[in-house]
Structure 1
Protein backbone atom coordinates (compact mmCIF):
# COMPACT_ATOMS: atom_id res chain seq x y z
CA UNK A 1 0.00 0.00 0.00
CA UNK A 2 1.22 3.51 -0.75
CA UNK A 3 0.56 6.86 0.82
CA UNK A 4 -1.08 9.35 -1.50
CA UNK A 5 0.85 12.43 -0.51
CA UNK A 6 -0.90 14.70 -3.01
CA UNK A 7 -4.17 14.12 -1.12
CA UNK A 8 -2.94 14.60 2.40
CA UNK A 9 -3.24 18.38 2.63
CA UNK A 10 -6.77 18.41 1.21
CA UNK A 11 -7.98 15.56 3.41
CA UNK A 12 -6.26 16.90 6.50
CA UNK A 13 -7.99 20.22 6.05
CA UNK A 14 -11.31 18.42 5.86
CA UNK A 15 -10.55 16.48 9.03
CA UNK A 16 -9.58 19.60 10.89
CA UNK A 17 -12.76 21.31 9.79
CA UNK A 18 -14.86 18.29 10.83
CA UNK A 19 -13.10 18.13 14.17
CA UNK A 20 -13.20 21.85 14.95
CA UNK A 21 -13.28 22.29 18.66
CA UNK A 22 -10.55 19.73 19.30
CA UNK A 23 -7.65 20.57 21.62
CA UNK A 24 -9.82 22.71 23.86
CA UNK A 25 -11.48 22.26 27.24
CA UNK A 26 -15.03 20.97 27.18
CA UNK A 27 -17.68 23.51 27.99
CA UNK A 28 -18.47 24.02 31.63
CA UNK A 29 -16.96 23.31 35.02
CA UNK A 30 -18.17 20.40 37.15
CA UNK A 31 -19.74 21.89 40.28
CA UNK A 32 -21.61 18.89 41.63
CA UNK A 33 -18.45 17.24 42.96
CA UNK A 34 -16.28 18.28 45.87
CA UNK A 35 -13.41 19.33 43.59
CA UNK A 36 -14.07 21.51 40.57
CA UNK A 37 -12.59 20.52 37.23
CA UNK A 38 -13.05 20.91 33.51
CA UNK A 39 -12.48 18.25 30.86
CA UNK A 40 -10.02 18.72 28.03
CA UNK A 41 -9.98 16.97 24.66
CA UNK A 42 -6.90 16.37 22.51
CA UNK A 43 -7.19 15.06 18.95
CA UNK A 44 -4.10 15.01 16.71
CA UNK A 45 -3.48 13.24 13.40
CA UNK A 46 -0.49 12.34 11.28
CA UNK A 47 -0.07 14.08 7.93
CA UNK A 48 0.56 10.71 6.32
CA UNK A 49 -2.49 8.88 5.01
CA UNK A 50 -2.92 5.25 4.07
CA UNK A 51 -5.29 4.34 1.24
CA UNK A 52 -7.33 1.20 1.87
CA UNK A 53 -9.94 0.33 -0.76
CA UNK A 54 -12.28 3.35 -0.97
CA UNK A 55 -11.09 5.17 2.12
CA UNK A 56 -8.13 7.00 3.56
CA UNK A 57 -6.93 6.28 7.07
CA UNK A 58 -4.47 8.08 9.27
CA UNK A 59 -2.68 7.66 12.59
CA UNK A 60 -4.27 9.54 15.48
CA UNK A 61 -3.87 10.32 19.17
CA UNK A 62 -7.00 11.16 21.16
CA UNK A 63 -7.34 11.92 24.84
CA UNK A 64 -10.02 13.16 27.25
CA UNK A 65 -8.94 14.01 30.77
CA UNK A 66 -9.80 16.26 33.74
CA UNK A 67 -8.05 19.51 34.59
CA UNK A 68 -8.63 20.47 38.22
CA UNK A 69 -8.77 24.04 39.42
CA UNK A 70 -6.30 23.17 42.17
CA UNK A 71 -2.84 22.65 40.70
CA UNK A 72 -1.82 20.38 43.58
CA UNK A 73 -4.54 17.92 42.53
CA UNK A 74 -3.25 17.92 38.95
CA UNK A 75 0.22 17.19 40.34
CA UNK A 76 -1.21 14.41 42.51
CA UNK A 77 -2.82 12.55 39.61
CA UNK A 78 -0.14 13.35 37.01
CA UNK A 79 1.26 9.82 36.90
CA UNK A 80 -2.13 8.29 36.01
CA UNK A 81 -2.88 10.96 33.40
CA UNK A 82 0.55 11.26 31.80
CA UNK A 83 1.36 7.57 31.76
CA UNK A 84 4.77 7.82 30.11
CA UNK A 85 6.12 10.73 32.09
CA UNK A 86 5.21 13.50 29.66
CA UNK A 87 4.81 17.00 31.04
CA UNK A 88 1.62 17.63 29.05
CA UNK A 89 -0.89 15.75 26.93
CA UNK A 90 0.19 17.82 23.94
CA UNK A 91 3.72 16.49 24.41
CA UNK A 92 2.41 12.92 24.57
CA UNK A 93 0.40 13.44 21.38
CA UNK A 94 3.31 14.97 19.49
CA UNK A 95 5.66 12.20 20.55
CA UNK A 96 3.23 9.48 19.45
CA UNK A 97 2.52 11.09 16.08
CA UNK A 98 6.19 11.86 15.47
CA UNK A 99 7.13 8.23 16.20
CA UNK A 100 4.74 7.08 13.49
CA UNK A 101 5.95 9.74 11.04
CA UNK A 102 9.56 8.65 11.57
CA UNK A 103 8.54 5.02 11.02
CA UNK A 104 6.90 5.95 7.70
CA UNK A 105 9.82 8.07 6.54
CA UNK A 106 12.30 5.31 7.36
CA UNK A 107 10.23 3.00 5.12
CA UNK A 108 10.22 5.34 2.13
CA UNK A 109 6.69 6.56 2.74
CA UNK A 110 5.17 3.09 3.00
CA UNK A 111 3.27 1.41 5.78
CA UNK A 112 0.95 -1.55 6.15
CA UNK A 113 -1.16 -0.05 8.93
CA UNK A 114 -1.89 3.16 10.78
CA UNK A 115 -1.44 3.57 14.52
CA UNK A 116 -3.92 4.81 17.10
CA UNK A 117 -4.07 5.70 20.77
CA UNK A 118 -7.28 6.52 22.66
CA UNK A 119 -6.84 7.64 26.25
CA UNK A 120 -9.72 8.51 28.57
CA UNK A 121 -9.29 9.61 32.18
CA UNK A 122 -12.43 9.95 34.31
CA UNK A 123 -13.21 11.01 37.86
CA UNK A 124 -15.16 8.09 39.33
CA UNK A 125 -15.24 9.29 42.96
CA UNK A 126 -14.83 12.77 44.38
CA UNK A 127 -15.46 13.12 48.11
CA UNK A 128 -14.04 15.33 50.85
CA UNK A 129 -11.60 12.58 51.85
CA UNK A 130 -10.65 10.72 48.68
CA UNK A 131 -10.46 11.05 44.91
CA UNK A 132 -10.96 8.11 42.53
CA UNK A 133 -9.60 8.15 38.97
CA UNK A 134 -10.12 5.66 36.13
CA UNK A 135 -7.61 5.63 33.26
CA UNK A 136 -8.54 3.67 30.12
CA UNK A 137 -6.30 3.33 27.09
CA UNK A 138 -6.60 1.50 23.78
CA UNK A 139 -3.58 1.46 21.49
CA UNK A 140 -2.55 -0.10 18.21
CA UNK A 141 0.97 0.18 16.78
CA UNK A 142 0.97 -2.79 14.43
CA UNK A 143 0.87 -6.54 14.96
CA UNK A 144 -1.90 -9.08 15.38
CA UNK A 145 -3.91 -7.01 17.84
CA UNK A 146 -3.81 -3.83 19.86
CA UNK A 147 -3.29 -3.28 23.56
CA UNK A 148 -5.80 -2.03 26.11
CA UNK A 149 -5.99 -1.58 29.85
CA UNK A 150 -7.98 0.06 32.62
CA UNK A 151 -6.27 1.49 35.68
CA UNK A 152 -8.08 2.56 38.86
CA UNK A 153 -6.27 4.95 41.21
CA UNK A 154 -7.42 6.27 44.58
CA UNK A 155 -5.90 9.21 46.45
CA UNK A 156 -6.29 10.34 50.03
CA UNK A 157 -7.23 14.03 50.07
CA UNK A 158 -5.66 14.74 53.45
CA UNK A 159 -2.29 13.05 52.96
CA UNK A 160 -2.12 13.51 49.17
CA UNK A 161 -0.97 9.91 48.86
CA UNK A 162 -2.19 6.91 46.89
CA UNK A 163 -4.55 4.59 48.76
CA UNK A 164 -3.45 0.94 48.81
CA UNK A 165 -5.29 -2.16 49.93
CA UNK A 166 -3.22 -2.06 53.14
CA UNK A 167 -5.02 1.17 54.03
CA UNK A 168 -8.35 -0.65 53.75
CA UNK A 169 -7.55 -4.01 55.31
CA UNK A 170 -5.27 -4.21 58.33
CA UNK A 171 -2.30 -6.56 57.97
CA UNK A 172 -3.64 -8.93 60.64
CA UNK A 173 -6.85 -9.34 58.60
CA UNK A 174 -5.21 -9.70 55.19
CA UNK A 175 -5.27 -13.50 54.96
CA UNK A 176 -8.94 -13.66 55.98
CA UNK A 177 -9.80 -11.06 53.39
CA UNK A 178 -7.92 -12.86 50.61
CA UNK A 179 -9.81 -16.08 51.40
CA UNK A 180 -13.13 -14.25 51.03
CA UNK A 181 -12.07 -12.69 47.73
CA UNK A 182 -10.82 -16.04 46.41
CA UNK A 183 -14.19 -17.64 47.22
CA UNK A 184 -15.92 -15.01 45.07
CA UNK A 185 -13.36 -15.51 42.30
CA UNK A 186 -13.87 -19.29 42.26
CA UNK A 187 -17.64 -18.90 42.24
CA UNK A 188 -17.47 -16.39 39.38
CA UNK A 189 -15.15 -18.67 37.39
CA UNK A 190 -17.20 -21.79 38.10
CA UNK A 191 -14.44 -23.43 40.12
CA UNK A 192 -14.70 -25.60 43.19
CA UNK A 193 -12.58 -25.04 46.25
CA UNK A 194 -10.21 -27.82 45.15
CA UNK A 195 -9.75 -26.83 41.50
CA UNK A 196 -6.21 -25.81 40.62
CA UNK A 197 -5.43 -22.21 39.63
CA UNK A 198 -2.50 -23.39 37.48
CA UNK A 199 -2.77 -23.73 33.72
CA UNK A 200 -5.54 -21.41 32.61
CA UNK A 201 -4.64 -18.76 35.18
CA UNK A 202 -1.37 -16.91 35.63
CA UNK A 203 -1.29 -16.72 39.43
CA UNK A 204 2.25 -17.26 40.71
CA UNK A 205 2.69 -20.85 41.92
CA UNK A 206 -1.06 -21.33 41.45
CA UNK A 207 -1.82 -19.19 44.50
CA UNK A 208 -4.63 -16.65 44.31
CA UNK A 209 -3.58 -13.02 44.73
CA UNK A 210 -5.34 -9.68 44.84
CA UNK A 211 -5.09 -7.18 42.02
CA UNK A 212 -3.39 -3.93 42.99
CA UNK A 213 -5.96 -2.34 40.69
CA UNK A 214 -9.17 -1.60 42.62
CA UNK A 215 -11.85 0.99 43.19
CA UNK A 216 -14.68 1.69 45.63
CA UNK A 217 -18.22 1.32 44.32
CA UNK A 218 -21.44 1.98 46.19
CA UNK A 219 -21.94 -1.56 47.47
CA UNK A 220 -18.74 -3.39 46.50
CA UNK A 221 -15.02 -3.13 46.19
CA UNK A 222 -14.01 -3.86 42.60
CA UNK A 223 -10.75 -5.62 41.76
CA UNK A 224 -9.79 -5.26 38.11
CA UNK A 225 -7.35 -7.65 36.43
CA UNK A 226 -6.19 -6.47 33.01
CA UNK A 227 -5.39 -8.80 30.11
CA UNK A 228 -2.31 -10.96 30.65
CA UNK A 229 -2.39 -10.42 34.43
CA UNK A 230 -4.20 -13.64 35.29
CA UNK A 231 -5.57 -14.80 31.91
CA UNK A 232 -4.62 -14.85 28.24
CA UNK A 233 -5.42 -11.99 25.87
CA UNK A 234 -8.26 -14.02 24.38
CA UNK A 235 -9.81 -14.45 27.85
CA UNK A 236 -9.82 -10.68 28.33
CA UNK A 237 -9.91 -8.72 31.57
CA UNK A 238 -11.59 -9.80 34.80
CA UNK A 239 -13.82 -7.70 37.04
CA UNK A 240 -14.28 -9.11 40.53
CA UNK A 241 -16.75 -7.44 42.91
CA UNK A 242 -16.86 -8.21 46.64
CA UNK A 243 -19.80 -6.81 48.68
CA UNK A 244 -18.72 -4.72 51.65
CA UNK A 245 -21.18 -6.64 53.81
CA UNK A 246 -19.08 -9.80 53.49
CA UNK A 247 -15.92 -8.27 54.94
CA UNK A 248 -17.11 -5.24 56.91
CA UNK A 249 -15.62 -6.71 60.09
CA UNK A 250 -12.16 -6.69 58.45
CA UNK A 251 -12.17 -3.09 57.20
CA UNK A 252 -10.02 -0.49 58.91
CA UNK A 253 -11.53 2.73 60.28
CA UNK A 254 -9.88 4.62 57.45
CA UNK A 255 -11.36 2.23 54.92
CA UNK A 256 -14.83 2.62 56.41
CA UNK A 257 -14.48 6.39 56.13
CA UNK A 258 -13.63 6.12 52.42
CA UNK A 259 -16.57 3.81 51.76
CA UNK A 260 -19.05 5.81 53.82
CA UNK A 261 -18.06 9.01 51.99
CA UNK A 262 -19.50 7.68 48.71
CA UNK A 263 -22.73 6.33 50.25
Structure 2
Protein backbone atom coordinates (compact mmCIF):
# COMPACT_ATOMS: atom_id res chain seq x y z
CA UNK A 1 0.00 0.00 0.00
CA UNK A 2 1.37 3.41 -0.96
CA UNK A 3 2.22 6.04 1.62
CA UNK A 4 -0.43 8.31 0.08
CA UNK A 5 -3.19 5.73 0.61
CA UNK A 6 -2.04 5.10 4.16
CA UNK A 7 -2.13 8.84 4.85
CA UNK A 8 -5.58 9.14 3.28
CA UNK A 9 -6.98 6.27 5.35
CA UNK A 10 -5.46 7.78 8.49
CA UNK A 11 -7.11 11.14 7.81
CA UNK A 12 -10.51 9.54 7.22
CA UNK A 13 -10.13 7.50 10.42
CA UNK A 14 -9.28 10.59 12.43
CA UNK A 15 -12.24 12.51 10.98
CA UNK A 16 -14.68 9.77 11.83
CA UNK A 17 -13.13 9.34 15.27
CA UNK A 18 -13.60 13.04 15.95
CA UNK A 19 -17.18 12.89 14.76
CA UNK A 20 -17.92 9.91 16.99
CA UNK A 21 -16.26 11.60 19.93
CA UNK A 22 -18.53 14.62 19.51
CA UNK A 23 -21.68 12.50 19.37
CA UNK A 24 -23.61 12.24 22.63
CA UNK A 25 -24.83 8.68 23.14
CA UNK A 26 -28.02 7.96 25.05
CA UNK A 27 -29.53 4.97 26.79
CA UNK A 28 -33.22 4.40 27.38
CA UNK A 29 -34.48 4.25 30.95
CA UNK A 30 -38.05 3.23 31.82
CA UNK A 31 -39.58 4.03 35.21
CA UNK A 32 -43.09 2.94 36.15
CA UNK A 33 -45.33 3.11 39.18
CA UNK A 34 -46.69 0.23 41.21
CA UNK A 35 -49.25 -0.54 38.53
CA UNK A 36 -51.99 -1.77 40.87
CA UNK A 37 -55.67 -1.18 40.08
CA UNK A 38 -56.15 1.69 42.53
CA UNK A 39 -52.71 3.23 42.09
CA UNK A 40 -51.68 6.13 39.87
CA UNK A 41 -50.74 4.95 36.39
CA UNK A 42 -47.18 6.15 35.83
CA UNK A 43 -45.01 5.51 32.82
CA UNK A 44 -41.79 7.43 32.23
CA UNK A 45 -39.53 6.76 29.25
CA UNK A 46 -36.34 8.67 29.91
CA UNK A 47 -33.04 9.16 28.14
CA UNK A 48 -29.73 9.10 29.98
CA UNK A 49 -26.59 10.50 28.38
CA UNK A 50 -23.78 7.94 28.51
CA UNK A 51 -20.49 8.85 30.14
CA UNK A 52 -19.10 11.00 32.92
CA UNK A 53 -17.97 14.01 30.92
CA UNK A 54 -19.32 17.43 31.90
CA UNK A 55 -21.88 17.55 29.07
CA UNK A 56 -23.37 14.13 29.88
CA UNK A 57 -23.59 14.99 33.57
CA UNK A 58 -25.23 18.33 32.81
CA UNK A 59 -27.76 16.77 30.44
CA UNK A 60 -28.74 14.06 32.91
CA UNK A 61 -29.00 16.48 35.83
CA UNK A 62 -31.22 18.95 33.98
CA UNK A 63 -33.34 16.24 32.36
CA UNK A 64 -33.95 14.55 35.72
CA UNK A 65 -34.78 17.89 37.37
CA UNK A 66 -37.28 18.62 34.60
CA UNK A 67 -39.03 15.28 35.09
CA UNK A 68 -39.06 15.73 38.87
CA UNK A 69 -40.71 19.13 38.43
CA UNK A 70 -43.39 17.62 36.20
CA UNK A 71 -44.20 14.99 38.85
CA UNK A 72 -43.86 17.20 41.93
CA UNK A 73 -47.51 17.61 42.91
CA UNK A 74 -46.86 19.06 46.37
CA UNK A 75 -43.67 21.02 45.64
CA UNK A 76 -41.78 18.55 47.81
CA UNK A 77 -38.29 20.06 48.31
CA UNK A 78 -36.57 16.85 49.41
CA UNK A 79 -37.17 14.94 46.18
CA UNK A 80 -33.76 14.25 44.64
CA UNK A 81 -34.42 11.63 41.95
CA UNK A 82 -37.08 10.62 39.46
CA UNK A 83 -37.71 7.45 41.44
CA UNK A 84 -38.34 9.51 44.59
CA UNK A 85 -40.61 11.82 42.60
CA UNK A 86 -42.66 8.82 41.44
CA UNK A 87 -43.02 7.65 45.05
CA UNK A 88 -44.01 11.15 46.19
CA UNK A 89 -46.61 11.35 43.39
CA UNK A 90 -48.08 8.01 44.49
CA UNK A 91 -48.08 9.06 48.16
CA UNK A 92 -49.89 12.31 47.37
CA UNK A 93 -52.59 10.34 45.59
CA UNK A 94 -52.85 7.84 48.47
CA UNK A 95 -53.29 10.64 51.01
CA UNK A 96 -56.10 12.25 49.03
CA UNK A 97 -57.68 8.84 48.42
CA UNK A 98 -57.72 8.14 52.18
CA UNK A 99 -59.53 11.44 52.78
CA UNK A 100 -62.06 11.47 49.95
CA UNK A 101 -62.36 7.81 48.97
CA UNK A 102 -64.33 7.03 45.82
CA UNK A 103 -64.43 10.71 44.84
CA UNK A 104 -60.78 10.52 43.82
CA UNK A 105 -60.21 9.17 40.31
CA UNK A 106 -56.84 7.42 39.78
CA UNK A 107 -54.12 9.83 38.72
CA UNK A 108 -51.98 9.44 35.64
CA UNK A 109 -48.53 10.58 34.64
CA UNK A 110 -46.82 9.82 31.34
CA UNK A 111 -43.54 11.37 30.25
CA UNK A 112 -41.55 10.55 27.14
CA UNK A 113 -38.10 11.93 26.32
CA UNK A 114 -36.60 11.77 22.85
CA UNK A 115 -33.81 13.34 20.82
CA UNK A 116 -35.27 16.17 18.73
CA UNK A 117 -31.98 17.00 16.99
CA UNK A 118 -28.27 16.44 17.42
CA UNK A 119 -25.53 18.20 15.44
CA UNK A 120 -21.82 18.76 15.95
CA UNK A 121 -22.57 21.85 18.04
CA UNK A 122 -25.83 21.11 19.85
CA UNK A 123 -28.24 18.52 21.13
CA UNK A 124 -31.93 19.11 21.80
CA UNK A 125 -34.18 16.83 23.82
CA UNK A 126 -37.96 16.93 23.64
CA UNK A 127 -40.16 16.04 26.60
CA UNK A 128 -43.79 15.06 25.99
CA UNK A 129 -45.72 15.02 29.24
CA UNK A 130 -49.28 14.25 30.30
CA UNK A 131 -50.66 14.31 33.81
CA UNK A 132 -54.05 13.94 35.39
CA UNK A 133 -54.54 14.78 39.07
CA UNK A 134 -58.28 15.34 39.10
CA UNK A 135 -60.56 17.89 37.53
CA UNK A 136 -62.29 18.00 34.18
CA UNK A 137 -59.30 16.84 32.16
CA UNK A 138 -55.59 16.19 32.26
CA UNK A 139 -52.87 18.46 30.98
CA UNK A 140 -50.45 17.81 28.15
CA UNK A 141 -47.28 19.81 27.57
CA UNK A 142 -44.10 19.78 25.53
CA UNK A 143 -40.74 21.17 26.59
CA UNK A 144 -37.37 21.35 24.84
CA UNK A 145 -33.94 21.19 26.45
CA UNK A 146 -31.26 22.73 24.22
CA UNK A 147 -27.58 22.14 25.01
CA UNK A 148 -24.48 23.84 23.63
CA UNK A 149 -21.91 21.05 23.25
CA UNK A 150 -18.84 23.30 23.21
CA UNK A 151 -19.86 24.95 26.49
CA UNK A 152 -21.37 21.77 27.98
CA UNK A 153 -24.24 23.98 29.08
CA UNK A 154 -27.96 24.41 28.55
CA UNK A 155 -29.16 27.24 26.34
CA UNK A 156 -31.97 29.40 27.65
CA UNK A 157 -34.35 30.81 25.05
CA UNK A 158 -32.67 34.22 24.90
CA UNK A 159 -29.31 32.50 24.41
CA UNK A 160 -30.47 30.86 21.19
CA UNK A 161 -30.50 34.12 19.24
CA UNK A 162 -27.97 36.71 18.17
CA UNK A 163 -30.62 39.40 18.64
CA UNK A 164 -33.87 38.42 20.37
CA UNK A 165 -35.78 41.51 19.23
CA UNK A 166 -34.88 41.01 15.57
CA UNK A 167 -35.84 37.34 15.76
CA UNK A 168 -39.14 38.17 17.47
CA UNK A 169 -40.02 40.53 14.61
CA UNK A 170 -39.19 37.80 12.09
CA UNK A 171 -41.17 35.19 14.05
CA UNK A 172 -44.23 37.43 14.32
CA UNK A 173 -44.32 37.92 10.54
CA UNK A 174 -44.08 34.14 10.04
CA UNK A 175 -46.75 33.51 12.69
CA UNK A 176 -49.12 36.01 11.10
CA UNK A 177 -48.59 34.42 7.70
CA UNK A 178 -49.27 30.92 9.02
CA UNK A 179 -52.35 31.92 11.01
CA UNK A 180 -53.63 34.35 8.36
CA UNK A 181 -53.57 37.39 10.65
CA UNK A 182 -53.39 40.58 8.57
CA UNK A 183 -50.37 42.76 9.27
CA UNK A 184 -52.53 45.78 10.03
CA UNK A 185 -54.71 43.85 12.51
CA UNK A 186 -54.15 43.21 16.22
CA UNK A 187 -52.27 39.96 16.88
CA UNK A 188 -55.38 38.71 18.72
CA UNK A 189 -57.75 39.67 15.90
CA UNK A 190 -58.46 36.05 14.97
CA UNK A 191 -58.99 34.77 18.52
CA UNK A 192 -55.56 34.32 20.07
CA UNK A 193 -54.89 35.48 23.63
CA UNK A 194 -51.47 37.11 23.63
CA UNK A 195 -51.01 39.20 26.77
CA UNK A 196 -51.36 42.95 26.24
CA UNK A 197 -52.27 42.26 22.60
CA UNK A 198 -48.58 41.91 21.80
CA UNK A 199 -46.86 39.01 20.06
CA UNK A 200 -44.26 37.20 22.16
CA UNK A 201 -42.11 34.13 21.75
CA UNK A 202 -43.31 30.93 23.44
CA UNK A 203 -41.82 29.50 26.61
CA UNK A 204 -40.93 26.39 24.60
CA UNK A 205 -38.42 26.71 21.75
CA UNK A 206 -36.32 23.88 20.38
CA UNK A 207 -34.26 22.64 17.45
CA UNK A 208 -36.11 20.04 15.37
CA UNK A 209 -35.36 17.96 12.32
CA UNK A 210 -37.22 20.31 9.95
CA UNK A 211 -36.45 23.64 11.57
CA UNK A 212 -36.60 25.67 14.75
CA UNK A 213 -39.82 24.90 16.61
CA UNK A 214 -41.83 27.55 18.43
CA UNK A 215 -44.29 25.64 20.59
CA UNK A 216 -47.08 27.38 22.49
CA UNK A 217 -48.53 24.93 25.01
CA UNK A 218 -52.22 24.85 25.91
CA UNK A 219 -53.46 28.01 27.65
CA UNK A 220 -50.34 29.99 26.62
CA UNK A 221 -51.99 31.90 23.77
CA UNK A 222 -55.19 29.91 23.18
CA UNK A 223 -57.81 27.94 25.07
CA UNK A 224 -57.41 24.36 26.20
CA UNK A 225 -59.83 23.22 23.49
CA UNK A 226 -57.65 24.80 20.82
CA UNK A 227 -54.67 22.68 21.86
CA UNK A 228 -51.04 23.68 21.34
CA UNK A 229 -50.05 26.11 18.61
CA UNK A 230 -46.78 25.43 16.79
CA UNK A 231 -44.66 27.24 14.24
CA UNK A 232 -41.73 25.50 12.49
CA UNK A 233 -39.21 27.87 10.93
CA UNK A 234 -36.92 26.30 8.27
CA UNK A 235 -33.22 26.63 9.03
CA UNK A 236 -32.56 28.29 5.68
CA UNK A 237 -34.70 31.18 6.91
CA UNK A 238 -33.82 31.20 10.60
CA UNK A 239 -30.07 30.47 10.57
CA UNK A 240 -29.09 34.18 10.31
CA UNK A 241 -30.72 34.73 13.72
CA UNK A 242 -29.22 31.71 15.51
CA UNK A 243 -26.14 31.59 17.72
CA UNK A 244 -25.75 27.97 16.63
CA UNK A 245 -27.00 27.66 13.04
CA UNK A 246 -27.81 24.26 11.55
CA UNK A 247 -26.23 23.10 8.30
CA UNK A 248 -28.90 22.49 5.70
CA UNK A 249 -28.47 20.00 2.86
CA UNK A 250 -29.44 21.01 -0.66
Secondary structure at 1:87 match in 2: coil
- For 1:131 and 1:243, locate their aligned partners in 2 and report how far apart those are by CA, in whole Å: 17
Out of 91, 97, 102, which is 2:90 matched to? 97
Out of 33, 50, 59, which is 2:40 matched to? 59
Structure 2 portions without partners, runs of 5+: 1-19
- For 1:89 and 1:175, locate their aligned partners in 2 and report how far apart those are by CA, in whole Å: 37
Out of 223, 228, 239, which is 2:219 matched to? 228
State whether structure 2 residue 200 is matched by structure 1 residue 191: no
Secondary structure at 1:125 match in 2: strand
Tell me the TM-score normalized by structure 1: 0.73
* Contact in 2 for aligned 1:60/1:97 (Cα 8 Å): no
Aligned counterparts, 1:1-263, within 5 A = 34-45=23-34, 47=36, 49=38, 58-71=39-52, 72=57, 73-83=59-69, 84=72, 86-107=79-100, 109-171=101-163, 174-198=164-188, 200-248=191-239, 250-252=240-242, 254-256=243-245, 259-260=246-247
Structure ranking higher in strand proportion: 1
1:142-192 deviations in Å (ceiling 9; x for gaps)? 111111100011011222222234434323xx4332222112211221211
* Contact in 2 for aligned 1:46/1:101 (Cα 8 Å): no
Offset at residue 246 of structure 1 (A): 2.7
Offset at residue 243 of structure 1 (A): 2.0
Secondary structure at 2:146 match in 1: strand
Q: In the superposition, relative to structure 1, how do residues 262 and 78 fare at CA in structure 2: closer, same or farther (>3 Å)?
A: farther
Secondary structure at 1:185 match in 2: helix
Tell me the TM-score normalized by structure 2: 0.76
Moved over 4 A (4+): none
Offset at residue 216 of structure 1 (A): 1.7
Offset at residue 46 of structure 1 (A): 6.1
Q: In the superposition, relative to structure 1, how do residues 120 and 236 fare at CA in structure 2: closer, same or farther (>3 Å)?
A: same
Q: CA RMSD in A?
A: 2.7
Q: In the superposition, relative to structure 1, how do residues 101 and 156 fare at CA in structure 2: closer, same or farther (>3 Å)?
A: same
Structure ranking higher in helix proportion: 2
Offset at residue 201 of structure 1 (A): 2.2
Secondary structure at 1:95 match in 2: helix
1:93-139 deviations in Å (ceiling 9; x for gaps)? 111111111111123x4334211111111122233422211111101
Secondary structure at 1:77 match in 2: helix
